[in-house]
Amino acid sequence: MAFKLSNRSMARLSGVHDDLFSVVERAIQITQVDFTVLEGLRSRSRQKELFDSGASTTMNSRHLTGHAVDLGAWVTGGVRLDWPLYYKIADAMKQAAEELGVPIEWGGDWETFKDGPHFQLPWKHYPSA
């Protein structure tokens, strides 16, 4: 089944780097699990709020420059946080990135503070603007 990004997801991709935007657009076409864009470009005040609550471990997030997105598995009309769903979304994101020649990092691959919904363009290839 082919999925498509909702208008809300498209709006949440506003300000996201074009390469990452393209990867998300391609991934929704090939994913086995529907997803929604939870967050893309983030304000410094929003980042501080997440940092202060423990939902983020940094004030230097890739979200601040539009180099990261958080995707939520969309199942029966709501976001689910079950890890097996995020492996499937990650497979689609990684395949899309490979097809488009765009390097990405998945928060689920991190050694500490695993973050299943998080995908970002690597600092090495995309230094901050």
DSSP assignment of 110-125 equals -SSS--TTEEE--TTT
In this predicted structure, the answer to whether residue 129 has a pLDDT above a threshold of 70 is no
The domain limits of the chain are 7-120
Taking the model in full, what pTM does it have?
A: 0.94
Match domain 7-120 to its CATH number in 3.40.190.10, 2.30.30.60, 3.90.1170.50, 3.30.1380.10: 3.30.1380.10
Instruction: Tell me the average pLDDT across 78-93.
Output: 96
* Average pLDDT of every residue of the chain: 94
Share of the chain above pLDDT 90, in %: 88
Helices (H), 13-123: 18-30, 44-53, 83-100
pLDDT in tens, 35-78: 999 999 999 999 999 999 988 888 889 999 999 999 999 999 89
pLDDT in tens, 29-39: 999 999 999 99
Instruction: Tell me the average pLDDT across 110-123.
Output: 94
In this predicted structure, the answer to whether residue 113 has a pLDDT above a threshold of 70 is yes
Contact 5, 16 (CB under 8 A): no
